[in-house]
Amino acid sequence: MSRDSNTILLRQQYTGEPRQAAHAFYQARGLYFGLVPDTTDPAQQLLEAVLVRTLARPHPQIPAHAAADTFFGLRGVSPDLDTLVLWPHPDHLTQLLGRILPVRTDSGIAGIPGLQARPHPSRTDTLLLARPGHRAHLTLRARPATLQQTEDHILAAGLEPLWPSAPRSPASGRHGTAWSAPCRPRRRHCGAALCAAPACTPARGRTGPVPRPSPDSWTAPSPSASLPALSARPEARPEASSP
């Protein structure tokens, strides 16, 4: 196997992304920024941190089935310098999106407050997830029809979806100001569920999220608390860690 093929395979093992996505990253970036680059935008770091906290600590009222052999319904991610592409498992797509997008529950807002979804302008298989007026975003490989399916999924549970296609109560327009930093943004860390590597410590990079009871409100943990995040980052550059 060639050196390039080994590098692409190594990235796949860390991220869980399809081979064509790993190949596209390697063609565009090479190893100039490392195998799994850190995002340089603090707002993007924060959005990714909130995403993982939302997945790791789901609201108990949001319906979701067990997503065995997946990372909370994800089969992989594609981290880059300015964005994170989410590759959902097709069997868990509706439940996954229902946990990410904001939903009004009896005890407050579940999901990522203020987040909205819109179709990608040039791809029919992609949704862009972002807060209005903010550049930081997530890219989800899912067709626009998934939004209606997710809305039906949430309404069937007796809850109120808070994204544009859904009817809103007068109070629901205020949900966009409800979120704040749940933790200090750090480097991307290793999601052990997406790769065969053992879980990392905070100093090593991306740690795998540990499910905990859903908090009653967004609060900031102590500075020593670890930050869970998606994808993976090796300790050394691939040149020193070729298979």
CB-CB contact of 137 with 130 (8 Å): yes
Q: What pLDDT sits at residue 59?
A: 86
Which of 181, 179, 197, 180 is closest to 189 using CA atoms? 197
User: Which two tokens mark 156?
Assistant: 């069937």
Q: How far, in whole angstroms, is CA 228 from its chain's centroid?
A: 11
Q: For residues 224 and 221, give the distance between their C-alpha atoms in angstroms, rounded to a whole number.
A: 8
Please tell me the predicted confidence (pLDDT) of residue 69: 76
Both tokens assigned to 153: 């999924």
- Say if CB 129 and CB 139 are below 8 A apart: yes
Q: Counting beta carbons within 10 angstroms of the beta carbon of residue 29, is it exposed (0 to 12), middle (13 to 18) or buried (19 or more)?
A: middle
Three-state secondary-structure class, residue 91: helix
Q: Domain coordinates of the chain in residue numbers? A: 3-240
Each residue's pLDDT tens digit, 94-126: 999 999 999 999 989 999 999 999 999 999 999
To 10 degrees, what angle do helices 42-56 and 93-100 make? Answer: 120
> What pLDDT does residue 197 have?
32
The pairing of strands 84-88 and 74-79 is antiparallel
Q: How many residues does the chain have?
A: 243
**Is the pTM above the cut of 0.95?**
no
Separation between Cα atoms, residue 185 and residue 52, nearest integer Å: 12
Query: What parts of the chain have a pLDDT lower than 50?
Result: 166-179, 181-186, 189-243
Burial 203-234 (b: 16+ CB within 10 A, else e): ebbbbbbeeeebeeebeeeeeeebbbbbbbbb
